Structure 1
Amino acid sequence: MSVNELLKDSNEDEDDTVCLGESFFINNNYELATFTFGSHVLQLLCLQSASTDFDLTGQLVWPGARLLNEYISNNAELLQGCSAIELGSGVGVTGILCSRFCREVVLTDHNDEVLKILKKNIELHESSENPNSSAALSAEKLEWGNSDQLNHILQKHPEGFDLVLGADIYILQNSVPPLFDTVKQLLLQGKERCRFILAYVSRSKMMDVMVTKEAIGHGLQIREVEGTRSVISNLEGVIYDITL
């Protein structure tokens, strides 16, 4: 085969090359799922299994969200009339439940694809005209440690929040320090007695230690809420109450 023929074959091979964009790895086959927490029933779009990209974990409802929602449904008086901001909202199962009790809920996530489904679920909830909910719901982009995004939210809510919420929101160890950077700023800007309610699910001893260590290192007080330690999806979970 001549050089020209080889070059021709090579060019043809290049033309046949398939370039995979990031959308190839995204699973957006959402299904409408029903969740029941106490007497409260929610219907939300979500995935039943994760996308290829680990950064899209927010497309699922995780055990920590179920733990926090059970706690919320059993202690609704803690949220009555409050303004709340949720970190790592994912599909919004916790924030939307909170709207049954709070007067305002801001749901946040850092991933643009997750924000799309989060906003759809807010619209779905609002279109259902649930008589039990009159809270103002909104979705905002927030990457932990990103002061510009956080300041943008606080400019819209200069009075701060009564509650900061989070459930199963730490997948990688390097996400924990910026998480608590953001939590501390929200607590500092929050209203009197503002607190961070965290549903923690244990998956490694190292992460168990790190979460507590980072909270204390940021000058925060972390307290296990009595009676909340339980097994969920074969994992041990607990609710933490974190304050300045």
Structure 2
Amino acid sequence: MGSESEQGRKANEEEEDIVCLDESFFINDDYQLTTFTFGSNVIELYCLQSASTDFDLTGQLVWPGAMLMNGYLSENAEILQGCSVLELGSGVGITGVLCSKFCRKVILTDHNDEVLKILNKNIDLYEHSSGPNPSAELEAAKLEWGNSDHLGEILKKHKDGFDLILGADIYILIFQQSSVPLLFDSAEQLLRIREPGNCKFILAYVSRAKQMDSAILREGAQHGMLMNEVPGTRCTVGNLEGVIFEIALK
């Protein structure tokens, strides 16, 4: 058995071998101004072209479900006219920016502080462009699913709730099945602010695992929601199957 001094020396050597990485090591902020076209709507925003090394920063990319959602909304823009909208898991904000061309108010939410930085940058970029609806209220807010404090702060400012709740490829943010109930908890709370039928949740869902497919449908039912597949929206997005759901409380 070694002396206490020898043990202390070995402990110090082991500590020296531990590499402590600052969180900035994982952050990729090499954003590029990118142009997207949806019908007659052209959107420019900053986003990454490839994934960050940090799993929690998937919101820095534009994912297939966002393309599916924006294609659907651009073809059915009448459902957005004059509406108030809250988007769950906004990422870089491509869906919210499109909505702001038609809506009177759009609240874009995300839970990650680094993602919120680029989201705000894209909002600022749009507000300083010559958009067709410069009077639209467009803002970012922090919302972690299931966090009543975050949701409460949003609803203090928007007491009447929203006409539409949107989610575009938010599966990317819920690889852990345990997060699915939290997503539907937040969606249900937002839907219940309005009388039944006066608010609906539009979800652009891209299937990547049958287990998650089942979890989404199961949670919707357990939260008292009707999940209706919008006819004609099931399609291939990249090499994946996507679909639009319209969701409302029973």
TM-score range, shorter chain: over 0.9
| Residue identity matched to 1:158 | K
| Residue identity matched to 2:215 | M
Establish whether residue 56 from structure 1 lines up as the match of residue 57 from structure 2. yes
CA distance in 2, matches of 1:112, 1:141: 8
What is residue 247 of structure 2 aligned with on the other side?
A: 242
CA distance in 2, matches of 1:117, 1:51: 13
Establish whether residue 174 from structure 1 lines up as the match of residue 178 from structure 2. yes
1:156 deviates by 0.4
Establish whether residue 188 from structure 1 lines up as the match of residue 188 from structure 2. no
Q: Report if aligned partners of 1:100, 1:134 keep a CA contact under 8 Å in 2.
A: no
| Residue identity matched to 1:211 | I
Establish whether residue 206 from structure 1 lines up as the match of residue 211 from structure 2. yes
What is residue 102 of structure 1 aligned with on the other side?
A: 103
Unaligned runs of 5+ in 1: none
What is residue 136 of structure 1 aligned with on the other side?
A: 137
Identical-residue share of aligned pairs (%) = 66
Unaligned runs of 5+ in 2: none
CA distance in 2, matches of 1:220, 1:43: 35
Q: SS of the residue aligned with 2:170?
A: coil
1:145 deviates by 0.2
TM-score (norm 2): 0.91
1:11 deviates by 7.3
Q: Report if aligned partners of 1:30, 1:47 keep a CA contact under 8 Å in 2.
A: yes
TM-score (norm 1): 0.93
Paired residues, number: 242
CA distance in 2, matches of 1:137, 1:208: 32
| Residue identity matched to 1:64 | G
When residues 155 and 231 of structure 1 are mapped into structure 2, their CA distance, relative to the original with a 3 A threshold, is same
CA distance in 2, matches of 1:152, 1:181: 16
What is residue 163 of structure 1 aligned with on the other side?
A: 164
